[in-house]
Chain A
């Protein structure tokens, strides 16, 4: 299996622009998580899905952030409009419930200028 695949690896954009981050989980995994990592706050859980259904989005910082999972093999995290304080590494991770072992994608380094 190719593992969790995220794109793009790096994104540089200007304040006010829309940003879309993409994730393909490992085939067969039934949970998908979106995390944001900064030096100050570490890994923060933004939202997670179980069988494509959003379960907990209490970590989404503002209405500017939205996430979707239209099917079992694809999820997006969208920021509109983006702000400089959104600059961070965004990780997607997936897990098969019975194993409980979380696998991470390689992350998207987002820089908002």
Chain B
């Protein structure tokens, strides 16, 4: 089957570090995306992991373990503008592509 799990909500303080976890079960798994979505807007691309390990991009990092079906998004030096939903999405390929999204984690950054 196809399944993605991530926490519904998280709260953190400005300047802190937060880790958003995602577990997945997807046949034909190809890679794992993280998208950011501000209220009332479209999801925008943050990161894409295909191989195991950590990918760092400025204040944001994403990690993938294919053997464990696990990923996390790490946000450092949190800013108020980071308050948004963070969507984990698995890409599966079995003849054609399919993107399966989690329900998203709503992150609130407090002053």
Contact = CB atoms under 8 A, between A and B. Distances in A.
B98 A41 contact: no
A101 interface: yes
Contact of A50 (B89, B96, B103): B96
B101 interface: yes
A100 B42 contact: no
B4 to A, nearest CB: 9
Given A55-B96, A101-B45, A104-B43, A42 B101 contact: yes
Contacts of A31: 96-97
B62 to A, nearest CB: 14
A102 B45 contact: yes
Interface residues of A, number: 23
B33 A41 contact: no
B25 interface: no
A78 to B, nearest CB: 21
Contact of B98 (A42, A45, A103, A106): A45
B7 interface: no
B44 A97 contact: no
Nearest to B6: A42
A102 B42 contact: no
A100 B31 contact: yes
B97 A105 contact: no
A31 B33 CA distance: 17
Contact of B42 (A55, A91, A95): A91
Interface in A59-113: 91, 93, 95, 97, 100-107
Interface of B: 30-31, 33, 41-45, 48, 87, 89, 91, 96-104
